[in-house]
A and B are shown apart, each in its own frame.
Chain A
Amino acid sequence: MASLLQPDRVLYLVHGEKKIRSPLSTLYFCRYCSELRSLECVSHEVDSHYCPSCLENMPSAEAKLKKNRCANCFDCPCCMHTLSTRATNIPAPLPDDPSKTTMKKAYYLACGFCRWTSRDVGMADKSVASGGWQEPDNPHTQRINKLIEYYQQLAQREKLERDRKKLARRRPYMPLAFSQHTIHVVEKYGLGTRLQRQRPGAPITSLAGLSLKEGEDQKEINIEPAQALDEVEPLPEDCYTRPINLPEVTSLRQRLLQPDFQPAGASQLHPKHKHLLIKRSLRCRKCEHNLSKPEFNPTSIKFKIQLVAVSYIPEVRIMSIPNLRFQKECQVLLTLTNPVENITHVTLVGCEEGDPEDINSTAKVMVPTKELVLAGKDAAADYDELAEPQDFQDDPDVVAFRKSNKIGFFIKVVPQREEDGDVTVSFKIRHDFRNLAAPIRPSEEGDAPTEAIWLTHHVELSLGPIIA
């Protein structure tokens, strides 16, 4: 049953600022802290920008200048698919001899999904394949730019005053209170607001950038305030009686994707440049090590650093569930997979009464008391036919089967509640972990190169409804 393999059936608990329960495939493992991390307890950083259709990399400064849009690719304003450039041959008069006509190539944009073309909005065909298409100008651009400059200057001034006051008083540590205006200024000079919060001891690098700006003459920018008008344009007279031409009316989504114009008619929908996507890297907040760092090349899906939980923590999966009955003991078959190459010893412990982490379970569970031994993951096992099968003494009541680095074992479940809803059980899994990331000590002692530490995780399983 493929539904038993659904990832959200087996949840691991992550101890962070918030207690998060999520499947192992979505978690990361910081091997310096030896703890599980979820997406909410790591900091996300932008690594690089790239266009999803032409896969062109763009440095961050250029991306910011172009407002995070690709220069070559366009989105269909009707269905948001990527537009492709098509060519037609049109007869055009020769420049030397107007009476003769020759075939010239004309290019237009077309959408393969909804069959929108650039000719629908009246955009003329261009004679170059790329680079000829311009977005229409926003009539309010000048005013908006002026306003932005004015507020940036204001924010700088405010921040300078605040920091000057702070340095003068010399308080040891004060959380930087950000006003709405100062946030974008900090981003320009600093590393990002969240990281700055996490580094209490770091010097205020933002000031360094600001001091340079002080040297330049500061131009006073004055803006005229917006004027309120008393009279509003009246609605057209046939507003209520005019029949609506439905294909011409734009949908809300089409309208709001062009916030500059928000056209109400489909014949004013111009294509916009395609939005860039980012590659992000993840960093553990406690030890500042990178947990995930993708490759720079947009065409590559590999990672330079990939500390995902499934390659360090043994994974529990549900294999088969019998009919669950209220207050009757049922035997559920689970599998444990060992992702590392050395032998792992796993002990399962049921949750005690009053365990603060055990909030969701609706059934009592009896886990095998003996220690389970998992063989190491052998990458060459498929090809090596002469490998001796390792001999583990398995108790047939506990261990159902054993296959290379996987083991199937039984647990006994007694559903305690007769209500509708899934039967949930939880237990703790304790396994040994050899930290290969620890610095290699100079070999004075004849110790094993790496010592094992024991990690405990809280696991919750969702077994499905009770069948009466």
Chain B
Amino acid sequence: MTPFMLRRIRNRLSKKLKSINKMSDKQNAQKSAKIAAGAVVCVESEIRGEVTIGARTVVHPKARIIAEAGPIVIGEGNLIEEQALIINSYPENIAPDSEGVEPKTMTIGINNVFEVGCMSQALKIGDNNVIESKADLGRNMILTSGCIIGACCQVNTCEVIPENTVIFGSGCQRRVQTERPQPQTLQLDFLMKILPNYHHMKKTVKTTSAVTPAKN
């Protein structure tokens, strides 16, 4: 075999290897972020790990959804604004690589609003909640439905917030309101029309078939 032929064989083999790697990478990437049809997720948002996003959810650019210590399941009709951070992270006293740590799923219900700059680590969030700008939710919180966490409120307790509770003020005062906050249907419709005009969207996946190579 001449060196010329050897080189040709080597090139062909490397090309094939590259294409195989690409296919498996694409498959892996898709397994990690399942975006249902009808959801509008901008390309500039950062989605890492196993994240499932429901239909009619809008994820603005620069939003970050990071599933480190377990998967995140986000329901329908949610609005996740810029610089919001939804993170399923390891609790502080557990090292990432230690054994015996079961990955816990973070579930987020429907019609929630995560306003600009908020951070949520709560493992269970119900429906129709509003987490206002720069609010900070700890990992051990459980929000039921209709709760409003006010702007800049840091709530880090280990409790279940009852329905229709409003947390506001610098001292995190609480009160109960009589009606739950309205779902932001108008805003969602508007964004679903306007955002694709100015941003590229991440590809959605049909929820029936989990592994399909995308056409990029």
A residues bordering B, Cβ < 8 Å?
78-79, 113-117, 119-120, 247, 266
The answer, among A79, A113, A119, for a CB contact under 8 Å with B178, is A119
The answer, among A79, A117, A119, A247, for a CB contact under 8 Å with B176, is A247
B residues bordering A, Cβ < 8 Å?
148, 150, 166, 168-169, 173-179, 181
Name A's interface SS: loop
Q: Are A247 and B150 in contact (CB under 8 A)?
A: no
Residues of A within 8 A of B148 (CB): 115
A–B Cβ pairs within 8 angstroms, 22 of them: A78-B175, A79-B169, A113-B150, A113-B169, A114-B150, A114-B168, A114-B169, A114-B175, A115-B148, A115-B166, A115-B168, A115-B177, A115-B181, A116-B175, A116-B177, A117-B178, A117-B179, A119-B178, A120-B177, A247-B175, A247-B176, A266-B175
Q: Are A120 and B178 in contact (CB under 8 A)?
A: yes
New contact pairs (19) apart from A115-B148, A116-B175, CB-CB < 8 Å: A78-B175, A79-B169, A113-B150, A113-B169, A114-B166, A114-B173, A115-B168, A115-B177, A115-B181, A117-B177, A117-B178, A117-B179, A119-B179, A120-B177, A120-B178, A247-B174, A247-B175, A247-B176, A266-B175
Of all chain B residues, the one with the shortest Cβ separation from A121 is B178
Residues of B within 8 A of A116 (CB): 175, 177
CA distance A308 to B49 in the complex (A): 62
Query: Which 3 A-B residue pairings sit nearest by Cβ, starting from the closest?
Result: A247-B176, A114-B168, A115-B166
CA distance A192 to B164 in the complex (A): 52
CA distance A73 to B169 in the complex (A): 22
Residues of A within 8 A of B173 (CB): 79, 114
Residues of B within 8 A of A247 (CB): 174-176
What is the distance, in angstroms, from B163's C-beta to the closest C-beta of chain A?
A: 12
CA distance A79 to B177 in the complex (A): 13
CA distance A116 to B168 in the complex (A): 11
CA distance A104 to B175 in the complex (A): 31
Of all chain A residues, the one with the shortest Cβ separation from B130 is A115
What is the distance, in angstroms, from B165's C-beta to the closest C-beta of chain A?
A: 8
What is the distance, in angstroms, from A79's C-beta to the closest C-beta of chain B?
A: 7
Residues of B within 8 A of A114 (CB): 150, 166, 168-169, 173, 175
Residues of B within 8 A of A117 (CB): 177-179
Of all chain A residues, the one with the shortest Cβ separation from B165 is A247
What is the distance, in angstroms, from B168's C-beta to the closest C-beta of chain A?
A: 5
Residues of A within 8 A of B169 (CB): 79, 113-114
Residues of A within 8 A of B181 (CB): 115
Residues of A within 8 A of B176 (CB): 247
Of all chain A residues, the one with the shortest Cβ separation from B168 is A114
Q: Are A79 and B168 in contact (CB under 8 A)?
A: yes
What is the distance, in angstroms, from B48's C-beta to the closest C-beta of chain A?
A: 33
CA distance A266 to B173 in the complex (A): 14
Residues of A within 8 A of B166 (CB): 114-115
Give the residue among B173, B174, B175, B179 with the most A Cβ atoms within 10 A: B175
Of all chain B residues, the one with the shortest Cβ separation from A245 is B176
Residues of A within 8 A of B175 (CB): 78, 114, 116, 247, 266
Residues of B within 8 A of A78 (CB): 175
